[in-house]
Amino acid sequence: MSSRLLSRIALSVLLGFFYLQSSFAQDEYELTPEQQQLLEQMQKVIEALNPRTGEITLGDNLAVLNVPEDFYFLNADDAATVLVDLWGNPPDQDVLGMLFPAESSPLDFDAWAVTIDYVEDGHVSDSDAADIDYDELLEDMQSDIRSANDDWIDAGYQPIELLGWAEPPHYDSYSKKLYWAMELRFGDDPETTLNYEIRNLGRKGILNMTFVAGTSQLAEINDKRETVLAMAEFVEGNRYTDFDSNIDEVAAYGIGALVAGKVAAKAGLFGAFILIVKKFGIFLVLGLAAFGRKIKGMFTTDKLGP
């Protein structure tokens, strides 16, 4: 499965490369030698990735991820390569891996993915889950983001506006899993961004799974949500029910603060948003950003046919 996926992804990039050249040639736009070299380098990066399916152990026997055939998994090193080298995010991405739909390449302009990381801040109590007013919580989050935007701009990023819930928070007290989605706008971008979060509560911390996608992909993400929710489970000894109050620490926050992003405070208020700020960094590097929607889909795998 891995070799077939890898060949499909590499072919997607190769076809996209030639499509790009022919598309711009029709409009009397020619890639510079530097741009051509960058695209060729991106192809080599993709060819070096090692997509996997099946049962995958996360961390030091922390949790198990069961990846079905309609997805593939990239390990921590490959995920960092995608996030930093291909998508233009800041370095030192502390992720356990990434998930992609099987038909997608990281260079597809419409590609969406799921990043996976783990935060060990202690056992998160869910005693407040049933009492949270999520409309009021949203207003507090919007205020926090507006207040911090000056610092965010000074750091070289576009200001962020939290427009609202794309999917209101939902907590399953039986599975100890939580999900919600926010609609965000970066700068003056007319297209909004979807930040879709899944949290799996464990004995000593939280397994985070974040969909990186556009708001227009909300229906597709909702369709895949239950599949992604079911993939990850803590191993015995790390499960929520394995908590021992005599020896385990309790987190300083509950479900409400978890949704509000207070957990990301140690990485900066916008730590949870960094992954999606420059998702299409490669197109900016190539100097093609001004073409916007015209180049949308130029790396799509549907050009390969059925």
Domain boundaries along the sequence of the chain: 110-279
* Residue 67 pLDDT > 80: yes
Strand runs (DSSP E) across 228-305, as ranges? 232-234, 250-254
Task: Please report which confidence band the pLDDT of residue 91 belongs to, taking 50, 70 and 90 as the band edges.
Answer: confident
Task: Please report which confidence band the pLDDT of residue 42 belongs to, taking 50, 70 and 90 as the band edges.
Answer: confident
Q: Are 209 and 114 in contact (CB under 8 A)?
A: yes
Sheet holding 71-75, edge to edge: 71-75, 97-101, 113-119, 206-214, 193-201, 177-186, 160-172
Rounded to an integer, what distance in angstroms lies between the CA atom of residue 49 and that of residue 76?
11
Task: Report the predicted TM-score, pTM, of the whole model to 2 decimal places.
Answer: 0.79
pLDDT digits (tens, 9 = 90+) for 226-237: 999 999 999 999
Q: Are 6 and 49 in contact (CB under 8 A)?
A: yes
Q: Which amino acid is at 40?
A: E
* Residue 203 pLDDT > 90: yes
- Give the closest residue to 126 by CA, choosing from 199, 209, 64, 182: 199
Q: What is the pLDDT of residue 139?
A: 93
Q: What percent of the chain has pLDDT over 90?
A: 43
User: Which one has a higher pLDDT value, 247 or 192?
Assistant: 247
